Structure 1
Amino acid sequence: MQGASESPDPWLLTLQHSPIGMAMVGLDGRLLMVNPAMSEMLGYDVEQLTQRGFQELTHPDDLDADLALFEQTLAGDIDSYRLRKRYLHADGHVVWGDLSVALVRGPEGDPLHFISQVLDITAAERERQSLEAIFETVTVGLLLIGPDGRYERMNCRHQETMQLPFPDGHEGEAGQLGHVFHLDGHRRMEREDMPSYRATAGEEFDDYTYWVGDDPATRRAFSTSARQVRGPSGEPLGAALAYQDITDLMRAMKVKDEFVSSVSHELRTPLTSVLGYLELLHDNGTLADDARAQVQVVRRNALRLQALVSDLLQVGQVQEGRLRLQYAEADLTAVVQDAAEASRSLASRHGVEIGVEAPDRVVARVDEQRVRQVLDNLLSNAVKYTGTEGEVSVVLREEPDSVVIEVSDTGIGIPADEVDQVFGRFFRGSGALEQHIPGTGLGLDIVSSIVAAHGGELSLESEVGRGSTFRVCLPRGPA
């Protein structure tokens, strides 16, 4: 039986079998003992390493910091230290190590030697440097916020833009107010609206758009996205935000909208004159039947052009913030029934049935003309996208503080990846394009604007080949 005095030294066992580089270092820095892991990490055999000091194995740029901590420990100012530093491999390449050093003292407190542990972090360091390079070179502003709302880090791109909204400096805390405006360029953002505050509160969002800067001539527009950062157990660690400068895009969109509005205004006057003379021609009793039919074709197409111009003008009003609602009490049951009746002529030509389900009377304080416009657009779309022998239904129902209107069809449906785009200006779905269904892509944008102006909500459920349901929820009175 092996005696206790013959038992292997636990320190030597740990040294030899540790996967981490370990060494016993003399007070002069010479390596007295090293393990195989250290030998493998630096490319020298054990004997070669024990003939060297850590000074000649350390990268020159990191040596002064290591020596300073080494001397402080030897002097008794500190007991141990930790340092991320570079070593020189036997073949000349750099090895990054996470170094931990502790001084071993004798019974009387005299320093005997140092124990060093070195974790090879070369791969991790390269990845960190790569991420650092990406972090600093992307054209998007990046910001990391801690769970307490304090700014922890930002890249140079974001740092460059901070002066515009915060000319007096930033305190590094989420929700600080500055020259930050909503999209109308007039209303300053409150603390709860600031993207940094929303992200700190746990929100995640995309394309949150606003203007920054006190001077309208030099303002910049930004689109911001936020994601929560969580630990391995799901614990909140903060939030990451990305800021994209979209000033050029916003100004280009404004120029486009101004152009569309200007052209629409210019078209309206001559078009009104054309329609007036077409009415006179149509009513002229001396006109031959074939000429009258030709005038009717021209008149029908002129009316289509007038509807398009009206839609463009409506879009321009929304964009310029000039969409005003005229509130009054209205019986929505009557509005729904009138809209359905007006659409039945078009529906019959397409072989589509329109059904209405509504209480006898539903009164709400709304802009009746605008609500009728919403219904006309939704019904027109439903009929166009529903095949022969299809059905369109309008359901009106009351809820405690609102009224809900649903327009459903049994038409071609909308692909899932297009549902979020259908309310965008000029958007035409793939089904409409493939089947050459006429349209401008403005109707649903107008519907969305009118519902939003009422303080309501508009949603869509659709399945390809089964049909779609547009749901409009309006408050009973002005929002």
Structure 2
Amino acid sequence: MFKNAAVAVGLILMATILRLLFLDELGSSYPFVIFYPAVLLAGLYGGLSAGLPATVFSTVLACYLWVDPRRHLPPGHMPDWGKMIVFLAWGIVISVITELVHRRLARTRQLKSQAEAALAEANSKLMLERDTLQAVMNGAGNSHLAYLDRDFNFVCVNETYARTCGYSPEAMIGKNHFDLYPHVENETIFARVRDTGEAVQYLDKPFEYSDKPERGVTYWDWTLTPVRDVAGTVTGLIFSLFETTLRKRTEEALRASEERFRIAFEDSAVAMTMTTLDGRIQKVNQAFSKMLGYSESELIGQRFTELTHSDDLPENLVGVRRLLQGEIASFRMDKRYLTRDGRTVWGDMSTNCVMDPQGMPLYLLTNIQDITSRKGIEVKLQEMNELLEKRVIERTEELREKDLLLVQQNRLAAMGEMINNIAHQWRQPLNALGLNVQQLRLFHESGQLRKDLLYGAVDNAMMLVRHMSGTIDDFRNFFKPDRERVEFSVKEVVAGAIKLVDASFRSNEIAIVVNCPNNPVVFGYPNQYAQVILNLLENARDAFDTCRRSNARIVFNLGCRGKRSVLTVTDNAGGIPDAIIDRVFEPHFSTKGPKGTGIGLFMAKNIIERNMHGSLSVVNDGEGAEFRIEV
């Protein structure tokens, strides 16, 4: 209010200044002329609170300006009271009118402000309701929801609907449904629901996307519900869809699968049954009926236990129990069935438990292959196998006896060789012993037998006897069996073996050369190792018998390769023919004809490789054969 009064005073002062500026032109005849506009402006600005002070203040100043202020006329020259009253009345009226106008404008502004606030609140509620509706629609999961106006333009859609159409929800607002997906029948349905206000519902309604032909025919459950205003007029439609293509195709595939199963079940050459969980037969095929001699109607309702041989029933029941408890996925057994005429038939039975979608057992499905003939053959085969096993045992025993005989023959042959070697070893000492005895006789007959000659002859005889006794010990030690594995010097064993046959080989003019720069020690059976060396020497000597050479020789080279000893035995007897060199270690294979047993090299290889975990091999080196022993 103070502000309005101040504005009124300011306007009146401005009018007074103008009145003074034009005092000469106006004189004092029209004291109120310049104040009419000032009072009007004050009233328009502040209404009564500005117009009324302006009117009073103007009247005071007009009375002062009625006379010429420069002449300082006496106050008796007062204005016309009539004009002053008119001015006051006009000022009061203008103030009242402008006050009323101001109040009307203030009320209008208040109403406008209230309307704007109410509109903002309504818009806020509308936005909240729209967001809530959108959230509810988006929360519908796989359901497609859309709200359309009377012209079928999208007002609101959920994300699932928009995503299926290839848009965002915002981008679909305002688009016409049938501009996107023209369909005369559906547009007719939409128009009928809008015009009649009656909702419709369709199940598995087919639809083809014009812009997505690769999808083929799709199927939908959809409802179309009208939306009414308070007056009952349809203002829009709620369109709800749920795609059932997968379910539809699954149902079709299931029906096709059930039909294939029915055909496979009924027409199968394999006997099949469907059994309830309590063991009653629910369905059988013709093959099962024919197998047991019952009709299908006679089998339905029977328990499978009534058709099972009592000896097979416990195993069958255990399998069914484990199957129903989920311990196994299926079980299989050979079991006997009882036929209608009392016979027993064999079946290769395989049972599975069919489950529902929740994983609960529905029924047992069993396949039975008639194996009665096979079982008869198996019995005959078992009898034949038992007979064959008996014959194999007998034959094996015969072969074992032959092998023992061959081993004995080989041993006797080796002993014969050893006796021959002993003969060679003893021939020279016996000759010397005989000459010594004859010399004693000659000395005695000639009377020249003196004590020193007698003692010398006795000493020579005893030396020869001890030498022959040592030879006997050497051969006896060679034939002594090895009882356990021991560490031994390969060089010493080779020297000992050569010593046993050296005289025999010298008599046959076969030189034995030994090159032993190393003296490896191995873990094994020394006498068996020596037997292998003697076997190789005897084979070489036999080879020289068929291949006469003036410079016959056998060379031993002993060395090491890592932690293993390597012994090569090489002769110059011409080698082994390539056609048979890979067979020389086979049992009963011999190149010596009736003289050979064919087990010498076989036993040598077994000794080195089986008993001593080494290797024995042979190659031709040009002049002869080279046997290689690694232990």
Shorter-chain TM-score: what band? 0.3 to 0.5
> Which one has a bigger Cα radius of gyration?
2
Which structure shows the higher helix fraction? 2
